[in-house]
Amino acid sequence: MSLLSVDELTVTFGGVGRKESRAVDGVSFEVDQGQVVGLVGESGCGKSVTSLALMGLLPHKGVKVGGRAEFDGTDLFTMSPSARRDLRGSQMAMIFQDPLSSLNPVVPVGVQVTEILERHRGMKGEAARKEAAHLLDRVGIPDPTRRLKEFPHQLSGGMRQRALIAMAVACAPSLLIADEPTTALDVTIQAQILELLKELVDQEGTALLMITHDLGVVAGLCDQVNVLYAGKVVESAGRRELFAHPTHPYAHGLLGSIPRLDSPRGEALKPIRGSINDRIAWADGCAFAPRCDRYEMGCLTGTPPLTEPRAAGHEVRCVHPVLDDAKAEEVPA
């Protein structure tokens, strides 16, 4: 059985007096023990909202969460708030994009780490401090005993993200959710952090739900990749399968539109036209249709179902999937 299984998750904002907007529109995926699963998409695709809903960190007012999410066999959305709090931080932990704003600026890093140890692992005083130093050491922070006494602003961006990871793994969680953990960092620091995450997964068997917009990061890190568009999974496959045969026109277009360091120069990029604002409601048809080169009338008859047009386990939500890579390029823009 999977560690985390999300089934038809919906998150709706607004309500009373205001127009409702559905940020997550029926997202389903599973994360197994020790697996790295990617949620990929652009801003506004609902990837961050999904992670916040799973962690129970969405505001209560004006937000409706629907669907099911089972963690280790228990339903996250029906459990009591206190049980959820205990779970969060010990069994599930999250790493955020901006390490500076996720750390309390007026409390030394050490206190923030020991707090977690005291709360979730019942450690006290010297023992907790020792363990905290060990944790900082574990995530590659040099001179951990000195760093424990420092405030977040005294650490560099990379160090802060490491400290945040140390806090997240303090209780050896079985699931780590990382929301754009390297977006705010420079590439050389990003490489360090990704390396660290890989080690955690490989050595501790932690499952990782990686939320990012960077397809490069996904290609090197994730076992299973879910591509989100306008609040729905439009393609889901193993990373090799997905990158070798992107089948949804969005995923296909996305891969064709990013400049690659290793691609020959002078080759023009093939952009996807329009922006995320050019969309239609899923109820009317495929939300990507207005930007799609392969759009046909058939795309406008309700939400396209997830099918497996290419290979088993490679799910695509499209009526006219890209099955022949060469042919796809012939379609006029």
Q: Of residues 10-69, which lie at the interface with another protein (CB under 8 A)?
A: 36, 42-43
Is residue 140 a contact point for another protein (CB under 8 A)?
yes
Using the minimum distance from each CB to another protein, give the nearer residue, 22 or 88: 22
Using CB under 8 A, which of the segments 46-54, 109-117, 284-292, 314-322 binds another protein? 284-292
Is residue 257 a contact point for another protein (CB under 8 A)?
yes
170 burial (CB, 10 Å; 0-12 / 13-18 / 19+) is buried
The helix/strand/coil state of 290 is helix
Kindly state the smallest distance separating residue 170's Cβ from another protein, in Å: 16
Q: Per CB under 8 A, which of residues 204..243 are in contact with another protein?
A: 213-221, 239-240, 243
Using the minimum distance from each CB to another protein, give the nearer residue, 151 or 243: 243
Kindly state the smallest distance separating residue 147's Cβ from another protein, in Å: 10
Write the DSSP string, 150-212.
S-GGGS-HHHHHHHHHHHHTTT--SEEEEESTTTTS-HHHHHHHHHHHHHHHHHH--EEEEEE
Using the minimum distance from each CB to another protein, give the nearer residue, 123 or 286: 286
- Distance between CA 199 and CA 193 in Å, rounded? 10
Is residue 187 a contact point for another protein (CB under 8 A)?
yes
- Distance between CA 203 and CA 12 in Å, rounded? 38
Is residue 254 a contact point for another protein (CB under 8 A)?
yes
- Extract the tokens encoding 20: 């409702």
Kindly state the smallest distance separating residue 322's Cβ from another protein, in Å: 16
Is residue 142 a contact point for another protein (CB under 8 A)?
yes
Cα separation values, 155 from 49, 131, 159, 206, 221, Å: 28, 20, 6, 26, 26
Kindly state the smallest distance separating residue 265's Cβ from another protein, in Å: 6
Q: Which of 26, 66, 108, 290 binds another protein (CB under 8 A)?
A: 290
Kindly state the smallest distance separating residue 185's Cβ from another protein, in Å: 9
The Cβ-side half-sphere exposure at 254, using a 13 Å CA radius, reads 24
Mark 312-331 with x for binding to another protein (rule: CB under 8 A) and - for no binding: --------------------
Using the minimum distance from each CB to another protein, give the nearer residue, 54 or 113: 113
Cα 98 to its chain centre, rounded Å, is 14
Kindly state the smallest distance separating residue 47's Cβ from another protein, in Å: 13
- Distance between CA 167 and CA 209 in Å, rounded? 17
- Cβ neighbour number for residue 18 with a 10 Å cutoff: 9
Kindly state the smallest distance separating residue 255's Cβ from another protein, in Å: 6
Q: For residues 113 and 148, is the Cβ–Cβ distance under 8 A?
A: yes
